[in-house]
Amino acid sequence: AMLDGMTGIPNRRYLDEQLQLAMRNASRSKSALSLVMFDVDFFKKYNDLYGHIQGDYCLQDVARTLRGMQRRHGDLAARYGGEEFALLLPDTDLDNAHRIAQKVLDGVRTLAIPHQGNAGGVVTISAGVMSCVPRPEMRIEDLFAGADRALYRAKERGRDRVEDCQLPRPVTPSIKPDAAAGNLQ
């Protein structure tokens, strides 16, 4: 019940569980955590032009490309739902997550799956990257919301691109001596 039957990669339920665990670990260790959301560009048009069976094959090819980006223990490619996918990248900062997301986009473009309903004539995907050092009060929905906002911007700005969302690192207040009273603040 943790694998997507059509693509063979983990499903949303498993992703949620692993993201929760990764958030706790990253919060404890104060390390970066990134979540990348992907969406196949103009997938409804693809299904309308080529049929649902070809659409399934297309999603399987995208899933294989994503799975190929899992390089380290803890990296997780999953099907989020429909034509949306996610890539969980523990201990990965924004720059590296962006670079990995771009490699996925390049990899899907390289597949050269014909798509006459897309400007370049081949299947492309868009990506939204959310990166942060999770705080204890954060929920997985916060990461999904950030990645989704970035994905929406990628779609809005022309598709076949990566957009980012990053929460700032928590600021640790510095202790400064009070010059007038000689007290610590």
DSSP state of 113: -
Bridge pairing between strands 125-132 and 162-166: parallel
- Using DSSP's 3-state secondary structure scheme, residue 112 falls into coil
SS3 102: helix
From the list 144, 162, 146, the residue with the least C-alpha distance to 154 is 162
Q: Which residues, 6 or more positions from 68, have their beta carbon under 8 angstroms from its beta carbon?
A: 107
Which residues are paired to 126 by β-bridges? Answer: 39
Packing angle between helix 140-156 and helix 12-29, nearest 10 degrees? 110
What positions carry a catalytic annotation? Answer: 83
